[in-house]
Chains A and B, each alone.
Chain A
Amino acid sequence: MALSGVEIFKHLPKTNCKKCGHPTCLAFAMKLAAKQASLDACPDASDDAKKILGESAAPPIRDITLGTGDKAVKVGGEICMFRHEKKFFNPNVFAVAIKASEAGDVAAKKIEAVKTSEIDRVGQKLRVDAIAVTDEGGDAAKFAAVVKQVVDGVPGVPLILVSKNPATIEAGIALCADKKPLIYAATAENAEAMANIAKENKASLAVFADGLDALTALSEKVKALGVEDLVLDSGARKAKDMIEHFTIMRRAAIKKNFKPLGYPIITFATRDNSVSEAVTAAIGTMKYASIIVLSSVEKWKMLALLSLRQNIYTDPQVPMQVAQNVYKVGDAKENSPLLITTNFSLSYFIVRGEVENSKVPSWLAVMDNEGLSVLTAWAAGKFTASKIAQFITESGAEKNVSHKELIIPGYVAVLSGALEEKLPGWKITVGPREANQLPTFLKARA
């Protein structure tokens, strides 16, 4: 039974501390009742409250953690259909499939690719999140051999064990039982056996059925067998089926509180052509898939997919920002150049990256413009000559350098005259427009 907002409120700390992002505990309780928030957001909720609120506090889509330790990933827990309504919380997992028949060299190559997949984008570390070992073209022994290769090669990377044969899963899970892998999949034929393996190993369990009706029935059945942490696969593989099925599942869970479909979604976006695979996986990222299994993870492909995921999962209300500060890039000294940009994470990281590329140690003054890009901030009147002048004076930028020269972004060249007026004694130099011209620009001056 769902509790009302007032009933939920009784169990909250009632301190109105706002840490949950809501003005009062009551406001937060109302959001919980409307399934637009998760109790996790209140750091002070007591364990008793968590127990009592149980179902009411649970997000409409259960959240599930794959793996353990610092590479563990949480999926599900979403509360809205469109990112502008609130935000998407738990980024989907990208997993690469390694077939049992690939045991040995091919598997080693893919493991290496996962190991070296981490990229830094706008201050976030992104990587291939998981590995799916599939029994395709192999027997239980080969399957286990690949699992072993993975566990030894990239310890800590969450595993998905893919086989419809319980004996094969058992052979694999014996090697990673303490790592909270995901078992894929319980089907109408093997549900009891798979449920038992999942329970014994405290693993989460994917449920596969062809079509949403069959999936609903099977999901209920597996839950009745005592497995809580489920992940769902309706068999949707074509882009059209993906969008349709996943939308229905998300809507049923969020709008109708339909429990049998209130779990994270897994899909296999594999295609022969790798770019085709990327565009299909992209649809999964946008339209509600929580785990997307790929057949290969070339660096260029992951760069595109991880960037898309980052875009879709950013908070639409608050652009990613960095703190206002005068940052030291490299071994900057008092005669090093001083540049200015805004505190929009993207602007800052792009500019910083290019300054680093230039190998010319520099000072980068980052001004708080509420996370707007240079041109947007300028157009919004937040990156004006007087505001920049005030920032430069108050930030102490002057103390870092012995000179009085400020390099401004090329796109706001129009500001240079006014800035020289507002900052008496300063020389304003107009930098290039695009940050990628900064290395040439800085080197030429050095």
Chain B
Amino acid sequence: MALVIPKETYSGKIYSIQLGSGAKAVTIGGASALPFLGFEGTFPNRPAVALEVMDIAPDDWPETLKKAIGSAGSNPVQWAKFCQQSGADMVALRLMGTHPDQKNKSPEEAAKIAAEVAAAIDIPLMILGSGHAEKDTQVLQAAAAATRGKNCAIGKAVEENYKTVAAAAMANDHKLIAMSQLDVNLAKQLNILLTQMGFDKERIIMDPMSSALGYGLEYTYSVMERIRLAALLQNDPMMQTPIVCDIGANVWKVKETMAPDAEMPEWGGLEDRALAWESVTASAMITAGADMLIMRHPGAAAKAKEVISELMG
């Protein structure tokens, strides 16, 4: 019996989205088949790896991570430059300091930092709010205006605030990150709502909501696989937006990335364990179809880039 390669016929394709400008601009998406199946489709763009920076010092980040970032963490501009030097494709600025439970920084302060960071790097910038749906509307509006022309990704637009956040992205020519909660239908629903208000679907990056290895990763994994099947096999235009996975924030709060060697001897050394935790989480999300990752440890980001290179062939 000779083997006839069983190929799928894909009727859909993932949109390509460009971020930033100039020589260091990044384009994501464009896949015409399930992840990395080169025998039945093309993958014009590599998944991009963004390293995360905050507008406040990473005081509550685990030691391993703080050590990897070093003194750069004390200043967002320096930190962003450090990420660029570490080989990140993008910088993800999370305006955590604006959260009412944090420093409750004003939208103006946040916007100033966003503009400074954007000016200090030549790789593309992603600007994320603190996750406080209400405050994020003002913060992201101000930050989007302050970085006009930089072709950033702005987010996250969620069910509660998508109108204002999308309007801010639209008014300032940015791309939009839209997050829903681990559910194929909710992801689609949010994209529909956005297009209904006139937002161009080809400017949306979808965040299906991430989880860390060992802590619900399988839910994200399967939601992503189902989104991709709907996009490619069923040609559903509302599912064809590229996917971003915000993994660092989830990975670096679990015990596996924090417990000292002495406390959990059966888990092995903390440094390697923590690095492996973020790297393997990244590997899983890339395999499931992530077009963009938000990570925290430069070493883990390097491992993600390494496996991406192997996968792109």
A residues neighboring B (CB under 8 Å): 82-84, 119, 121, 212-213, 216, 220, 238-240, 243-244, 247-248, 251-252, 255-256, 258-261, 274-276, 278-280, 282-283, 286-287, 298-305, 307-308, 310-312, 314, 316, 346, 350, 357, 373, 434, 436
Contacts and interface: CB of A to CB of B under 8 A. Distances in A.
A229 to B, nearest CB: 20
Contacts of A300: 267-270, 272-273, 276
A299 B255 contact: no
A119 B312 CA distance: 34
Nearest to B214: A307
Count chain A CB atoms within 10 A of each CB in B218, B253, B255, B259 and give the residue with the most.
B218
B79 interface: no
A279 B280 contact: yes
Contact of A283 (B213, B221, B267, B283): B283
B201 to A, nearest CB: 25
Given A82-B222, A240-B36, A308-B280, A260 B303 contact: no
Nearest to B1: A260
A276 B306 contact: yes
Contacts of B217: 308, 311
Contact of A279 (B6, B36, B269, B307): B307
Contacts of B275: 275
22 contacts: A82-B229, A83-B222, A84-B225, A216-B1, A216-B3, A239-B311, A243-B37, A256-B4, A256-B6, A258-B6, A275-B276, A275-B279, A278-B279, A279-B280, A300-B272, A300-B276, A303-B256, A303-B273, A307-B214, A311-B213, A311-B214, A311-B221
B258 interface: yes
Given A213-B2, A216-B1, A312 B218 contact: yes
Nearest to B307: A279
B226 interface: yes
A301 B276 contact: yes
B283 A282 contact: yes
A275 B39 contact: no
Given A216-B2, A243-B311, A310-B214, 13 more contacts: A83-B225, A243-B36, A256-B6, A279-B283, A279-B304, A280-B283, A298-B272, A299-B266, A304-B280, A312-B218, A346-B214, A434-B253, A436-B255
B280 A213 contact: no
B213 A307 contact: yes
Given A260-B1, A301-B276, A304-B276, A247 B218 contact: no
Contacts of B34: 247
A299 B267 contact: yes
Contacts of A298: 268-269, 272
Contact of B280 (A238, A282, A310): A282
A311 B218 contact: yes
B88 interface: no
The 8 closest A-B pairs by CB, nearest first: A299-B268, A300-B268, A300-B273, A239-B310, A307-B214, A311-B218, A279-B283, A240-B313
Interface secondary structure of A, over-half rule: helix
A279 B303 contact: yes
B272 A251 contact: no
Contacts of B282: 279
Nearest to B309: A239
Interface of B: 1-6, 34-39, 213-218, 221-222, 225-226, 229, 253, 255-256, 258-259, 263, 266-270, 272-273, 275-277, 279-280, 282-284, 287-288, 303-304, 306-307, 310-313
Nearest to B219: A316
A258 B310 contact: no
B78 to A, nearest CB: 27
A346 B5 CA distance: 40
B183 to A, nearest CB: 12
A436 B5 CA distance: 50
A236 to B, nearest CB: 12
A74 B63 CA distance: 41
Contacts of A220: 1
Contacts of A119: 266-267
A274 B272 contact: yes
A434 B255 CA distance: 10
Contacts of B306: 276, 279
Nearest to A307: B214
A304 B269 contact: no
Given A216-B1, A240-B312, A314 B218 contact: yes
A119 B214 CA distance: 14
Contacts of B1: 216, 220, 258-260
A280 B310 contact: yes
Interface centre among B36, B215, B255, by most chain A C-beta atoms within 10 angstroms, is B36
Contacts of A312: 218, 221
Nearest to A287: B287
Contacts of A258: 1, 3, 6
Nearest to A253: B6
Contacts of B258: 436
Nearest to A353: B255
A436 B257 CA distance: 12
Nearest to A213: B3
Contacts of B36: 239-240, 243-244
Given A275-B275, A280-B310, A255 B6 contact: yes
A350 B277 CA distance: 17
